[in-house]
Chains A and B, each alone.
Chain A
Amino acid sequence: MEKYINNYVIVTIFILLGILLPVVALAVGRLLRPHKPNEEKKTTYESGNEPVGEGQVRFNVRYYLFALMFVIFDVETVFLYPWAVAYNQLGLFVLVEMAIFTGLLLIGLLYAWKKKVLKWNSI
């Protein structure tokens, strides 16, 4: 039990240190760096031209499809991990079960492939 608590205390310390470094570095940097903003400096960068329109433009719906595929396969991984850990204690039955589960997802991948979701065309 002590070990369990200690381990997660270390994890917390690492996360705290991770937050602390940017905070400290940027706070110290504030004392060192000049601060002379003007309108030109604060314009959005567009290769030296006057920025045209909004910055948050519409983008290809393809990114959404990739995100969707990612969610599906990431959930598969969530199932694969505990299965893999316990694999040596489990029988042939779970191997067949996992094959069916992965097979269904692979059919989904094949479908996306045939629908040309995985093909990249411009932007």
Chain B
Amino acid sequence: MGAWLEETLTWGNALLFFLWGVILLAIVLGFVTYAIFFERKVIGWMQYRIGPNRVGPWGLLQSVADIAKLLIKEDTIPRKADRVLFILAPALAYVPAFAVLAVIPYTQNLYFADINVGLLYYVALSGISTIAIVLGGWASNNKYALLGGMRSAAQMISYEVPLVISVVGVIMMSGTLNLRSIADQQGDWFWQWNFIPQIIGFVVFVIAAVSELNRTPFDLPEAESELVAGYHVEYSGFRFAFFMLTEYVYVYAIAALTTVLFLGGWHAPFPFLTWVPGIIWFLLKFSFIVFFLFWIRATLPRIRVDQLMGLGWKVLLPVSILNVFLTAVYLELFVK
């Protein structure tokens, strides 16, 4: 990819970039299909069940069947809904979820856009999804959807602040916002990865990221087992599927981002293991984080709504700011 980036832009190159984008899109859709299957299987095993096992061999086609069902399901739009915004909201949620993937590097040589402000781009775009959620909740013209949308938005903006501040420590240590350089600067010993020097930032980042994804234990705006559904209560068929797709594309994005920022990206944990290709290490770390997200869903109970905002503003935000200054003092004393 790097060589093509240096060339002058022609229609041929633009087509090439487009095809790479389509390939990534196909990979992401495949990931989402099997992440949902894997999640159900993992939670099944953890709860001493079998999980989906009927459709296809070992139940492998379960998610495919679910997607096909959503695709041929009738699409109802309530009479009172604001039609234009109602239709716009799922697409608006999905577009930034996919667009942020442009800046994620997979190995030293395999990456898409290599922009200087990569991390800022990620943070800025992922914020747009909040608007889509408020929009979906408002346009449905439904009390549950409105309250669910407002709650989701309040939660997402509350945890976005600690999320974006927790990575400032990493930026200070690397001196760049370019995700490829950040991953590159981490060494081949696992203690040289950012998650050990930035352990406070790492913990805050993981907690805030789970909350940003609206996943258990922070999924109370759409708690399936307790409430109706939250902001997407009026959505059916493929429009609903786009909200689900957004959630899982963000799982992909956040797992990849955590790998790049904190877990050394494509670096091996020990120098004598560097003969294993970088992409394998990347995928291992990436898969571990995806598994971790499913694991905590099976393990942790949902937190209460009054604990939710308290945790975000009273604990995570001060801790993440403290982390910035601890990093600053550390750099001042030992590095400069």
Taking beta carbons and an 8 Å cutoff, which residues of A are in contact with B? Answer: 2-3, 5-11, 13-15, 17-19, 21-23, 25-26, 28-29, 32-37, 39, 41-47, 51, 54-57, 59, 62-63, 66-67, 69-70, 73-74, 76-77, 80-81, 84-89, 92, 95, 98-99, 102, 106, 109, 112-113, 118-121, 123
Closest to B14 in A: A9
The answer to whether A22 touches B91 (Cβ under 8 A) is yes
Output the least CB separation between B306 and chain A (Å). Answer: 4
The answer to whether B144 touches A26 (Cβ under 8 A) is no
Closest to A32 in B: B72
Kindly identify, within residues 162 to 221 of chain B, every residue whose CB is under 8 Å from any CB belonging to chain A. 164-165, 168-169, 171-172, 175-177
A81 neighbours in B (Cβ, 8 Å): 120, 168, 171, 177
Q: Which range holds the interface residue count of chain B?
A: 35 or more
Q: Which of A6, A28, A59 has a CB less than 8 Å from the CB of B150? A: A59
Closest to B239 in A: A26
The answer to whether B153 touches A119 (Cβ under 8 A) is no
Interface of A: prevailing SS: helix
A57 to B176, CA, bound (A): 46
B81 neighbours in A (Cβ, 8 Å): 44
The answer to whether A17 touches B98 (Cβ under 8 A) is yes
The answer to whether B113 touches A8 (Cβ under 8 A) is yes
The answer to whether B161 touches A73 (Cβ under 8 A) is yes
Q: B18 at the A/B interface (Cβ < 8 Å)?
A: yes
Closest to B162 in A: A73
The answer to whether A33 touches B73 (Cβ under 8 A) is yes
A26 to B313, CA, bound (A): 39
Output the least CB separation between A37 and chain B (Å). Answer: 7
Output the least CB separation between B318 and chain A (Å). Answer: 7
B94 neighbours in A (Cβ, 8 Å): 18, 21-22
Output the least CB separation between A94 and chain B (Å). Answer: 9
Q: B265 at the A/B interface (Cβ < 8 Å)?
A: no
Q: B225 at the A/B interface (Cβ < 8 Å)?
A: no
A95 neighbours in B (Cβ, 8 Å): 325, 328-329, 332
Task: Mark each residue of chain B from 97 to 139: 1 if its CB lies under 8 Å from any CB of chain A, else 0.
Answer: 1110111000000001111000011010000000000000010
The answer to whether A13 touches B4 (Cβ under 8 A) is no
Closest to A20 in B: B25
The answer to whether B161 touches A70 (Cβ under 8 A) is yes
A46 neighbours in B (Cβ, 8 Å): 142-144
> Can you list 6 A-B contacts (CB < 8 A)?
A7-B113, A13-B14, A35-B75, A45-B142, A56-B138, A95-B329
Known: A33-B75, A42-B78. A88 touches B154 (CB 8 A): no
Q: Which of A7, A44, A80, A87 has a CB less than 8 Å from the CB of B142? A: A44
The answer to whether A19 touches B95 (Cβ under 8 A) is yes
Q: Which of B5-13, B38-46, B290-298 contacts A (4 or more CB under 8 A)?
A: B5-13
The answer to whether A14 touches B99 (Cβ under 8 A) is yes
B247 neighbours in A (Cβ, 8 Å): none
A62 to B309, CA, bound (A): 11
Q: B324 at the A/B interface (Cβ < 8 Å)?
A: yes
Q: Which of B52-60, B230-238, B255-263, B275-283 contacts A (4 or more CB under 8 A)?
A: B230-238
A112 neighbours in B (Cβ, 8 Å): 313
